[in-house]
Chains A and B, each alone.
Chain A
Amino acid sequence: MEQVAADALDPLAIAERWMDDGREVALATVVETWGSAPRPVGSHLVIDGEGNFHGSVSGGCVEGAVIAEAADVIAGGQPRMLEFGVADETAWRVGLSCGGRIRVYVERVG
């Protein structure tokens, strides 16, 4: 009972609910961090087949890229390991502005 409020923000609870709703679901997990990573190891981002998401693996820096990869993981079924660091200053791509590096494991649920 007392966990109802917490569950509303809990990515794993949301993953289960989405699965029950018949949605396709992928789960991204921070498995390793170096330097000043924004989210601790073990943090989750849950993504559905339409690109809806909940939770976070960074302070919003790389979520877009993870969501794009999750679509492929949902389609292909094979888990993937992603790594993000500081973006190249001249390149227009995602990175962690905090200067840290993270590895994110993305897997399909089901």
Chain B
Amino acid sequence: MDPSLLRKLNAERHARRAVVHLTDLGDGRDRVIRESDPVAGALGEAIASAFRSGKSGMVEIEGRTFFLNVHLPPARIVVIGAVHISQALAVMAKVAGFDLTIIDPRTAFATPERFPDVELIADWPQDVLPERPLDAYTALVAVTHDPKIDDFPLKEALASGCFYVGALGSRKTHANRVERLKAEGVEEDVMARISAPIGLDIGAANPAEIAVAVLADIIQSFRRRDLGTELRP
């Protein structure tokens, strides 16, 4: 493997772009292919299929054997709200292997003392998200209860195809939220993607247990996501 190719591969992965590292096992030659790079013929089809499934593997094409190593961006969680649930979720998400970012404009909540070792941004989602766009490999968790803070990122998450969109609040709170978002033009079938009340129904009774329910819900959504459609850019 060429050093410059390793650098390119790492740069793509770091930028959260899906790539295939293709190696011709016959002569050892390799290259890095982005989703948008055109590759003709049977090899192109094999690459497209690898991007869709996320599965690495060997293929034989015209007597040559290739290894396709698919690198999809690691799943991450963006939490809107530096609340008690987020404190527990931050710790658990790290153990489960997710990157996690917390956004909350309320500086009384978003303090490093309450969130050690977590990426914490004390700013409005409206100001943060344009710089750090949500994507299909992101789960959005909105837990402030405050429409001023939660509504915008929820809309953004639905529009950018986040694999999970969850919002804290009772059924009544959520019904009000649905009305507000509908008034802003969000379609009802799109709205149905919001997990609310947030998390799997495991009878969670305190912030830590709710965090478990949310994380389990996220893992379920990620592992059972529709690879054929949702992750296509």
Contacts and interface: CB of A to CB of B under 8 A. Distances in A.
Contacts of A19: 3, 6
B97 to A, nearest CB: 8
25 contacts: A2-B119, A3-B14, A5-B94, A5-B99, A6-B74, A12-B6, A12-B13, A16-B7, A16-B10, A19-B3, A31-B57, A31-B58, A32-B58, A41-B55, A41-B57, A42-B70, A78-B28, A105-B67, A107-B1, A107-B23, A109-B1, A109-B2, A110-B1, A110-B2, A110-B3
Given A27-B1, A41-B57, 17 more contacts: A1-B119, A2-B76, A5-B94, A6-B74, A6-B99, A12-B13, A19-B6, A29-B69, A31-B67, A40-B56, A41-B56, A42-B70, A105-B23, A105-B67, A107-B28, A109-B6, A110-B3
A87 to B, nearest CB: 24
Q: Is the interface of A mostly helix, strand, loop or mixed?
A: mixed
A40 B69 CA distance: 11
A57 to B, nearest CB: 13
Contacts of B7: 16
Interface size class of B (residues with CB under 8 A): 20 to 34
Interface in B1-35: 1-3, 6-7, 9-10, 13-14, 23, 25, 28
Counting chain A residues whose Cβ lies within 8 A of the other chain, the interface size class is 20 to 34
Interface in A1-46: 1-3, 5-6, 12-13, 15-16, 19, 27, 29, 31-32, 40-42
Contacts of B56: 40-42
Nearest to A29: B69
B101 interface: yes
Contact of B69 (A42, A79, A81): A42
At the interface, is chain B mostly helix, strand, loop or mixed?
Answer: mixed
Contacts, number: 57
A14 B100 CA distance: 22
Chain A CB within 10 A, most for which of B9, B55, B69: B69
Contacts of B67: 29, 31, 105
A5 B7 CA distance: 19
Contacts of A31: 25, 57-58, 67
Contacts of B3: 19, 109-110
A32 B67 CA distance: 9
B9 A12 contact: yes
A14 to B, nearest CB: 10
Contacts of B10: 12-13, 16
A47 to B, nearest CB: 13
Contact of A16 (B6, B57, B119): B6
Contact of B28 (A3, A5, A12, A79): A79
Give me the 4 closest cross-chain CB pairs, A-B, nearest first: A42-B56, A2-B99, A79-B28, A41-B56
Interface in A61-81: 78-79, 81
